[in-house]
Structure 1
């Protein structure tokens, strides 16, 4: 006599086992929050590490620069200096910003241009003009010099001879040191630095002085 094996309970158990388990919505949200926080923390830590490495890799230093034009022989004041950040050159004897207090009150040995880096050899006993150089003043008539002529410009000085003169006009290369205001007669007094020999030749020449602006590399 055969015995029938019941199959309904087995089918029901398989059906229960095959059902997909789905987490409640609240559980999934709770699991994602820690992951988001962890990712944000990693981003912040990476940014901080990058910033620290960047600061350590910066080879620049803070040094002193000239804030405004300073005449040779003038005692430097705090307002004459400003701080700039540069990558230093080994051959350039710059003054660090931390030495500012020791620089104030010292004498400028040479004229200092605004924006120029301050170096140790620019301070101390006045050495202006340099050995072998002289500074002379010449009167320049209107139309005999380029407009906007400023200190530091390289010029060719030509003394235009009187009418009818056939001699080659005296000339010399020079650097403009100062430009005074034009007076009522139309004369502008320009201070020029040039070799001592050229200064004597130009000062002794007769005629009108003309200034030709040139490239300093020429």
Structure 2
């Protein structure tokens, strides 16, 4: 039998014979079961590493709002979702294990979608906070930033074309800074109604001013 024929026969028998050194005449076998065993061992090592990394994960499951929650709203199971937060975080949160005790309770302050839930946000209504008021402002198209949502920091401007004292003088401007609590389409579909949390002293000025309302969204650092 020629050399190539002998190698073919070795493959048929399940072993590949590789010629050794010329002096010893030894042969080395590469067994298919050994290859499979080695591959399996590598896979086991990879899985063990993945499990070890997960075991070292110090994050804990807590509850967050799955959608925006309004004051007085009763929390449903679909209103909350579970997120993982670093165990070292100093943020006050509600553990995911307490989900059943959260469902059915009343929201005491507005909660933005995606915000972490805190025990203080559940219970009797405590809104608006002491020293602040909520004003609803009608805003025409083109005078409100696109995508404005609850939680945004804004400056509100009410501009009267006739001036503060009338008579066609320079335009009067009444302004205040605040936080958006709600944004929805106006009843007549001609614009948007924006509810803004402002200082109690600013609320009467803004609410009583007549003119065009403009809303400017501020950066997160303000």
TM-score in same-fold range (> 0.5): yes
- Report the TM-score, using the length of structure 2 for normalisation: 0.75
Deviations, residues 83-132 of structure 1 (Å, cap 9, x unaligned) = 12232443112222111111111111111111112122221222221221
The residue aligned with 1:114 is 113
Q: Are the structure 2 counterparts of residues 33 and 109 from structure 1 closer, same or farther at C-alpha, using a change threshold of 3 Å?
A: same
Q: Are the structure 2 counterparts of residues 90 and 126 from structure 1 closer, same or farther at C-alpha, using a change threshold of 3 Å?
A: same
Q: Is the 8 A contact 2:161 2:172 kept in 1?
A: no
- Structure 1 residue 50 displacement after superposition: 1.3
1:84 aligns with 2:83: yes
Taking the TM superposition and a 5 Å limit, the aligned residue runs for 1:102-181 are 102-163=101-162, 164-166=168-170, 169-181=173-185
Instruction: Decide which structure has the larger Cα Rg and report it.
Output: 1
CA RMSD in angstroms, aligned pairs only: 2.7
Q: Are the structure 2 counterparts of residues 183 and 56 from structure 1 closer, same or farther at C-alpha, using a change threshold of 3 Å?
A: closer
1:192 aligns with 2:196: yes
The residue aligned with 1:4 is none
Q: Is the 8 A contact 2:108 2:126 kept in 1?
A: yes
Q: Number of paired residues?
A: 196
Q: Are the structure 2 counterparts of residues 91 and 191 from structure 1 closer, same or farther at C-alpha, using a change threshold of 3 Å?
A: same
The answer for unaligned runs of 5 or more in structure 2 is 1-22, 163-167
Q: Find 1:208's aligned residue among 203, 212, 220.
A: 212
Work out the CA distance in 1 between the residues paired with 2:109 and 2:196: 15
Bigger share in helix: 1
- Report the TM-score, using the length of structure 1 for normalisation: 0.76
The answer for unaligned runs of 5 or more in structure 1 is 1-18
Q: Are the structure 2 counterparts of residues 92 and 149 from structure 1 closer, same or farther at C-alpha, using a change threshold of 3 Å?
A: closer
Work out the CA distance in 2 between the residues paired with 1:34 and 1:139: 77
